[in-house]
């Protein structure tokens, strides 16, 4: 039975990236969302299955 793999993505206000709680390296000048797409594309290609992602991007939150 084919099932999708689920991932939790968190991008902090200062651009730090974690996928399933694991810190990811974001090179200087690269948007963290580009790293997310690349990492999860590789995961999907490796498994041959789609991935489901829940993203919490604190950069879009406004302090108020």
Q: What is the pLDDT of residue 60?
A: 80
CB–CB of 49/3 below 8 Å?
yes
What pTM did the predictor assign? 0.84
The span from the CA of 16 to the CA of 57, in Å, is 10
Residue 7: name the closest of 53, 62, 50, 40 by CA: 53
> What's the pLDDT band for 15 if we cut at 50, 70, 90?
very high
- 11: left (phi > 0), else alpha (psi -120 to 50), else beta? beta
pLDDT higher than threshold 90 for residue 59: yes
Q: Strand, helix or coil at 55?
A: strand
Angle at 14 between CA 36 and CA 24, to 5 degrees: 35
Q: Which residue has the higher pLDDT, 1 or 41?
A: 41
pLDDT higher than threshold 90 for residue 30: yes
């Amino acid at each position: 039975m084919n099932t999708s793999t689920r991932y939790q993505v968190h991008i902090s206000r200062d651009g730090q990236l974690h996928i399933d709680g694991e810190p990811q390296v974001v090179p200087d000048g690269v948007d963290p969302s580009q790293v997310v797409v690349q990492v999860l594309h590789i995961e999907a290609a490796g498994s041959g299955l789609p991935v489901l992602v829940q993203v919490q991007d604190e950069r879009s939150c406004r302090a108020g």
